[in-house]
């Protein structure tokens, strides 16, 4: 343990939370090792699809060939695969189970294994705090009368609705702590982390799983870019960059395992980082519209989180921002963060970045993807750049702020006072702002220590299938060959205490990591490797399925988790949308066209009609997202190019309709849009 970590420990052990395990699958990264390599390389893992790929996967050819269709997404490969038998689902249930549920179950299992804890090891006081997004599978399943007739409408709902994400984990893994499905839009998974932290500090549970998942569809899909909307016009997300033009949707899943720091230290858990404080706020009505972000409460979330940690925001060296790369979002977030970190104002010494540049915007899983990135940076003492980082946007004022945009990988220097620290922010549509204060873990003095001379260890492995056992042995061999590998005693202890015994088994006996890795590689290739003079009584009892008691100590360490390789169970898809009826030809007169525009306004705003001469757009419930929708409809249905700024003026619907019809060319200036927002 370093001197810095020691100095901070008394306070942290009483009031802080340890991150003891993590697991995630993100675009371009089936595991966290690959995720880190991609982050370190500044790689953009957004996939660009060909027209043929999209159409072959069921996309509408007419939409794909539209002028505003962007064939890009943070795609999650193999999101429909699931090891159903391991979790007790039959084939019919597995097919109906939403892909988000499947992925979250497997990721929760892997996170517990990463923490050195058996996923079914009787950790009764374990809470679950997770959330997810809406999915095509859920909508299709819940509107399919044949499926309801086959397995029952209630069962369809239980297997597909996102409100059951947390209860399925608790049920299948036997976890009896609080089980909450959280929903705060884009800030869902970081809000889940905050709630898990509070639950641990209140003593409601002793271990907590927290995170989120977002798989709107398992199919290859792009998106439609709308002028004035939130999505990027070129399929790339560039937060805080002078080329920023919007965000890109993405899919992924992430879960962290949390324990009170005092418990984690006492139990020799594999602490990966420490959460020193967290806070949640909401903008309330202090902003121009429901979907718009707000400065003051973003600032408050940051200040309150650092106050909860007993620290000053200026103690940070890095901020992992929400960073959607929208002009309004980035500008407000930069202003809010600058106000919160004012103790470092003008220094430019705090690095800033956003993982959305690498993987896109993961919606309900965005916050946990950012948190895991920050934990990995603390572990490796390395600052990673935004993907394809360029110059900061000049309107963000970074030259006179606490921040500098990370442009390339760099060593994270050890601060003169205290350990390395970072903040992680997440912001949800609707105004829920979350901030988490992270600190590097107390260091183990004997990490990677040599094995005790002559102390042979038996490594016990099991899996559901022979193929999975081979894959697991291969992964473990690679882990023991890596720099900083855990001791053989700790490896043996973790495999014995921190894994769920399964039917297909194997073992090896070795005196050092190199020998164990060689035997494991043999086991991976199909051999029955044992080693060091032949069969071992403990190992043979293990193969026979008998209870085994391992003598000798050890502690939990992070080892490769189960190599899930289930088959594809597909996903339900929504049927083709009925073609929109052609708009009847307008009579050509100004009055007819104006009446058609009024009808469109009424439909979009949920009004019986738009004939009230005093009703304004805002009074009728209009906001910026409705405006983006209306701009597209006016162009597509009426051939009118209308500037989005028109919808931000205080106009009655009558006057708005007249102005729309009179508009010949739209000046869809985002600068003008921002000016209107700021004026409000």
3-state secondary structure 328-383: HHHHHHHHHHHHHCHHHCCCCCEEEECCHHHHCECHHHHHHHHHHHHHHHHHHCEE
C-alpha span between 334 and 323 (Å, rounded)? 9
CATH of domain 590-679: 1.10.1200.10
Q: Which CATH superfamily is domain 7-440 in?
A: Thiolase/Chalcone synthase (3.40.47.10)
| β 421-427/410-411 pair status | unpaired
pLDDT at 67 exceeding the cut of 60? yes
Mean pLDDT of 547-553: 86
pLDDT at 58 exceeding the cut of 90? yes
pLDDT score of 1: 35
Question: Where is average pLDDT lowest: 11-20, 30-39, 383-392, 509-518?
Answer: 11-20
| β 421-427/432-440 pair status | antiparallel
Which token pair is 420?
A: 């390395």
Domain pair 7-440 / 457-543, same fold: no
Position with higher pLDDT, 671 vs 234: 234
pLDDT at 331 exceeding the cut of 90? yes
Mean pLDDT of 265-287: 94
C-alpha span between 19 and 541 (Å, rounded)? 35
pLDDT score of 454: 62
Mean pLDDT of 439-445: 86
Position with higher pLDDT, 595 vs 471: 471
Q: 152-199: per-residue pLDDT in tens?
A: 899 999 999 999 999 999 999 999 999 999 999 999 999 999 999 999
**Counting Cβ atoms within 10 Å, is residue 632 exposed (0-12), middle (13-18) or buried (19+)?**
middle
C-alpha span between 209 and 196 (Å, rounded)? 7
C-alpha span between 135 and 89 (Å, rounded)? 20
pTM for this model (two decimals): 0.88
446: pLDDT confidence band, cut at 50, 70 and 90? low
Domain spans of the chain, in order of start: 7-440, 457-543, 590-679
C-alpha span between 313 and 425 (Å, rounded)? 13
Mean pLDDT of 402-415: 94
Q: List helix spans (H) across 561-652.
A: 590-605, 624-638
pLDDT at 3 exceeding the cut of 60? no
Under a CB-based contact definition with an 8 Å cutoff, are residues 8 and 441 in contact?
A: no
Q: 193-241: per-residue pLDDT in tens?
A: 999 999 999 999 999 999 999 999 999 999 999 988 999 999 999 999 9
pLDDT score of 121: 75
Question: Where is average pLDDT lowest: 110-114, 308-312, 484-488, 607-611?
Answer: 607-611
Question: Where is average pLDDT lowest: 292-306, 561-575, 602-616?
Answer: 602-616
Inter-CA distances, 634 with 596, 601, 628, 639, Å:
10, 10, 10, 6
242: pLDDT confidence band, cut at 50, 70 and 90? very high
pLDDT at 665 exceeding the cut of 60? no
Mean pLDDT of 114-129: 88
Class of domain 457-543: alpha beta
Three-state SS across 210-235? Answer: EEEEECCCCCCCCEECCCCCCECCCC
pLDDT score of 56: 95
CA 514 to chain centre: 36
pLDDT score of 449: 56
pLDDT score of 9: 43
C-alpha span between 476 and 482 (Å, rounded)? 10
Could you tell me which of 339, 357, 354 has the C-alpha nearest to residue 397? Answer: 339
pLDDT score of 656: 83
pLDDT score of 496: 95
What would the DSSP string read from start to end of 78-140?
Answer: TTTB--TGGGT--HHHHHHS-HHHHHHHHHHHHHHHHTT--TTS--TTEEEEEEE---HHHHH
Mean pLDDT of 371-392: 96
pLDDT at 5 exceeding the cut of 50? no
Could you tell me which of 109, 117, 210, 125 has the C-alpha nearest to residue 176? Answer: 125
Q: 453-466: per-residue pLDDT in tens?
A: 567 999 999 999 99
Q: 620-643: per-residue pLDDT in tens?
A: 777 776 777 788 888 878 878 888
pLDDT score of 123: 63
Q: What is the CA radius of gyration of the chain?
A: 27
301: pLDDT confidence band, cut at 50, 70 and 90? very high
C-alpha span between 653 and 655 (Å, rounded)? 5
C-alpha span between 51 and 362 (Å, rounded)? 23
Could you tell me which of 37, 29, 116 has the C-alpha nearest to residue 500? Answer: 116
Q: Which residues contact 25 (CB under 8 A, 6 or more apart)?
A: 31, 76, 103, 107, 252, 253, 254
pLDDT at 679 exceeding the cut of 70? no
C-alpha span between 298 and 329 (Å, rounded)? 11
Torsion (CA) 586, 618, 629, 366 in degrees, nearest 10: 180
Position with higher pLDDT, 536 vs 600: 536
Stated as kind and residue range, the H or E segment containing 209 is strand 207-214
* C-beta contacts of 621-626 below 8 A and 24+ residues apart: 622/647, 623/289, 623/290, 623/291, 623/292, 624/228, 624/288, 624/289, 624/291, 624/292, 624/648, 625/291
Q: Which residues contact 639 (CB under 8 A, 6 or more apart)?
A: none
């Amino acid at each position: 343990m370093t001197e810095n970590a020691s100095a901070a420990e008394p306070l942290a052990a009483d009031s802080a939370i340890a991150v003891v395990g993590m697991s995630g699958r993100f675009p371009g990264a089936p595991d966290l090792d690959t995720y880190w390599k991609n982050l370190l390389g500044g790689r953009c893992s957004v996939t660009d699809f060909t027209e043929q790929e999209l159409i072959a996967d069921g996309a509408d050819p007419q939409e794909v060939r539209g002028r505003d269709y962007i064939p890009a997404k943070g795609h999650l490969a193999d999101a429909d695969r699931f090891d159903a038998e391991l979790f007790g689902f039959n084939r019919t249930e597995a097919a109906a189970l939403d892909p988000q549920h499947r992925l979250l179950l497997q990721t929760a299992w892997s996170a517990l294994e990463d923490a050195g804890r058996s996923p079914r090891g009787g950790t009764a006081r374990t809470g679950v705090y997770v959330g997810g997004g809406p999915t095509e599978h859920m909508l299709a399943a819940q509107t399919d009368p044949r499926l309801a007739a086959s397995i029952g409408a209630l069962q369809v709902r239980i297997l597909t609705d996102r409100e059951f994400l947390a209860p399925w984990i608790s049920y299948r893994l036997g976890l009896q702590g609080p089980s909450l499905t959280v929903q705060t839009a884009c800030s869902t998974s970081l809000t889940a982390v905050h709630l898990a932290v509070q639950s641990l500090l209140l003593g409601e549970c002793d271990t907590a799983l927290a995170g989120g998942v977002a798989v709107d569809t398992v199919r290859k899909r792009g998106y439609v870019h709308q002028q004035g909307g939130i999505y990027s016009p070129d399929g790339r997300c560039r937060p805080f960059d002078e080329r920023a033009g919007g965000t890109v949707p993405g899919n992924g899943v992430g879960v962290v395992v949390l324990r009170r720091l005092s418990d984690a230290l006492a139990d020799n858990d594999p602490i990966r980082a420490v959460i020193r404080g967290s806070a949640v706020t909401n903008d309330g009505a202090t902003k121009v519209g429901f979907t718009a972000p707000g400065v003051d409460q973003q600032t408050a979330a940051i200040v309150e989180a650092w106050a909860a940690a007993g620290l000053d925001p200026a103690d940070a060296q890095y901020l992992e921002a929400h960073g959607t790369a929208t002009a309004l979002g980035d500008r407000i977030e930069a202003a809010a963060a600058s106000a919160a970190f004012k103790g470092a104002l003008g220094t430019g010494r705090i690095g800033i970045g956003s993982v959305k540049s690498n993987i896109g915007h993961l919606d309900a899983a965005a916050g946990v993807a950012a948190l895991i990135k920050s934990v990995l940076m603390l572990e490796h003492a390395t600052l990673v750049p935004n993907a394809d980082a360029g110059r900061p946007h000049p309107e963000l004022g970074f030259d006179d702020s606490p921040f500098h945009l990370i442009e390339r990988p760099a060593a994270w220097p050890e601060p003169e006072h205290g350990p390395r620290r970072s903040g992680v922010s997440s912001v949800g549509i609707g105004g829920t702002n979350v901030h988490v204060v992270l600190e590097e873990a107390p260091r183990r003095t004997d990490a990677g220590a040599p094995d005790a001379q002559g102390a042979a260890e038996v490594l016990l492995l099991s899996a559901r299938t022979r193929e999975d056992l081979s894959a697991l042995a291969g992964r473990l061999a690679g882990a023991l060959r890596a720099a900083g590998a855990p001791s053989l005693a700790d490896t043996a202890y973790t495999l014995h205490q921190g894994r769920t015994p399964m039917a297909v088994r194997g073992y090896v006996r070795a005196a050092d990591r190199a020998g164990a890795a060689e035997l494991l590689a043999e086991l991976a290739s199909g051999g029955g490797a044992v080693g060091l003079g032949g069969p071992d009584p403990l190992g043979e009892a293990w193969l026979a399925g008998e209870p085994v008691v391992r003598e000798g100590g050890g502690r939990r360490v992070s080892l490769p988790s189960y190599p899930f390789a289930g088959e594809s169970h597909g996903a339900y898809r929504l049927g083709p949308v009925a073609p929109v009826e052609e708009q009847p030809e307008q009579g050509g007169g100004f009055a007819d066209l104006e009446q058609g525009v009024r009808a469109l306004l009424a439909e979009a705003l949920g009004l019986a009609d738009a004939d009230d001469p005093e009703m304004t757009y805002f009074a009728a419930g209009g906001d910026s997202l409705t405006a983006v929708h209306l701009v597209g409809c006016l162009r597509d249905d009426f051939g009118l190019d209308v500037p989005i700024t028109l919808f931000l003026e205080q106009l009655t619907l009558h006057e708005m309709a007249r102005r729309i019809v009179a508009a010949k060319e739209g000046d869809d200036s985002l600068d003008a849009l921002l000016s209107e927002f700021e004026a409000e």
